[in-house]
Structure 1
Amino acid sequence: MRRVEEERAVGQWRDWLIDLEGGDAVLPWNEIIKITLEDVLMFSTGTNRIPPHGFDELPTLGFLHADKERRQFPEANTCGLILRLPIHSSYEKFNEYMISGVVQSPHFGIP
């Protein structure tokens, strides 16, 4: 069951990145919130640019499995370069919580 959920989350992640790049990732209530791939990189790694010599560690994806309650928003470990994706049954929910999670993150004080 976990494998199926993770494969669905990876598919949603890929679709979301494509929508994000094309400017089509918006919240379902039609609120116009612009986020960029750089915003996602900042959320995931703590920097909005890939360093000239790359990262010391390769960024990785993880998944937010929870036995009793689901964690709805993405989580990032910027020291370990790990982005943990939430598990949602629909792309619409995945989109909503990914955008909200990135927008609500503190961005380390950088606008």
Structure 2
Amino acid sequence: MALITQPCYRFKDGLATLNFFNALEQHPSIFLPYMCYRAEDLTAEIVESLFRPQLSPTGSSNRHEEERVLGYWLDYLIAVKEDGSGMSLQDILMFATGLKEIPAAKLIPQPQLTFQKHARFPEANVCANTIKLPILPSYEIFEEAMNYGIKNAPGFGLH
């Protein structure tokens, strides 16, 4: 029992520095989000903000295609959130990072979107938190490819 209580008292003493523990006792609801992690529900906006697109130089033909596909990606996130097709934003996060939810600390490395011309389906590198989006001619083809690619990814058996 002493193995547990001793560190707890030391932690409490540390929190008492600069009256932090006193403030914590008086206003627990204010400190709750900072002291107790609670996973927030994913939205299209949250998933969009997680990923940093790696675009070609401005003015290049690749950049034009990448921006078009980036628009497809944003539409896809919205459709997944609103549609009951069996795909979820959690599926996309799992595909890209191997995680079911966003951790309390930020994702390292920051998730990225890259683009590949000669691919039919998306690919993911969970070690690098990267999704390689296929450059496809229409949103409908893109959506179908994304759904198929994500649903048929090997995963980690965490579903």
User: TM-score of the superposition, structure 2-length normalised?
Assistant: 0.60
Q: Secondary structure at the match of 2:113?
A: strand
Alignment partner, residue 44 of structure 1: 96
Structure number with greater CO (CA < 8 Å, separation at least 6) is 1
Deviation of residue 23 (structure 1)?
A: 1.0
In the alignment, the residues of structure 1 paired with residue 123 and residue 138 of structure 2 have an alpha-carbon distance, to the nearest angstrom, of: 19
Task: Mark the runs of 5 or more structure 2 residues left unpaired by the alignment.
Answer: 1-60
Q: CA RMSD in A?
A: 1.1
In the alignment, the residues of structure 2 paired with residue 84 and residue 59 of structure 1 have an alpha-carbon distance, to the nearest angstrom, of: 11
In the alignment, the residues of structure 2 paired with residue 91 and residue 12 of structure 1 have an alpha-carbon distance, to the nearest angstrom, of: 6
Is 1:17–2:69 an aligned residue pair?
no
Q: Secondary structure at the match of 1:108?
A: coil
Alignment partner, residue 119 of structure 2: 71
In the alignment, the residues of structure 1 paired with residue 106 and residue 153 of structure 2 have an alpha-carbon distance, to the nearest angstrom, of: 24
Q: Map 1:88-99 onto structure 2 (within 5 A).
A: 88-99=136-147
How many residue pairs match? The answer is 99
Alignment partner, residue 113 of structure 2: 61
User: TM-score of the superposition, structure 1-length normalised?
Assistant: 0.85
Alignment partner, residue 29 of structure 1: none
Q: Secondary structure at the match of 2:131?
A: strand
Is 1:108–2:156 an aligned residue pair?
yes
Aligned residue type for 1:16: Y
Relative to its length, the structure with more helix (as a share) is: 2
Q: Secondary structure at the match of 1:109?
A: coil
Moved runs in structure 1, 4+ residues, more than 2 A? none
Deviation of residue 110 (structure 1)?
A: 1.7
Is 1:83–2:126 an aligned residue pair?
no
